[in-house]
Amino acid sequence: MFLRHVSSGDVVEVMDIEALFDPFRNEFKGRFHAGEELPEPSTFRKSDIIFLSGERLPRCWVDPHYKERKI
């Protein structure tokens, strides 16, 4: 899965999809996907990531209490 890093605009390849989907975890492992050589995996904060389309991550991925709150 590929997402976008907000501040740099670079594409991030998700290496730990389970951490991305887990609302109790604020970070996941991934790596930037820019340039010719792939860098070592890094830790990314979910708050710094959006979909390639520009949409935010779903609340059920980032808020462990998403069922309790009504907006």
Strand residues in 1-71 grouped as ranges (E): 2-5, 11-14, 27-32, 42-45, 49-50
Total tally of structural domains belonging to the chain: 1
Which strands sit side by side in the sheet containing 2-5, from one edge to the other? Answer: 42-45, 27-32, 11-14, 2-5, 49-50
Whether residue 38 lies inside any domain: the answer is yes
Q: Which residue has the higher pLDDT, 20 or 38?
A: 20
**pLDDT tens, 14-29?**
999 999 999 999 999 9
- Say what the pLDDT of residue 6 is: 97
Whether residue 19 lies inside any domain: the answer is yes
Whether residue 24 lies inside any domain: the answer is yes
Please determine, for residue 37, whether its predicted confidence score (pLDDT) is greater than 90: no
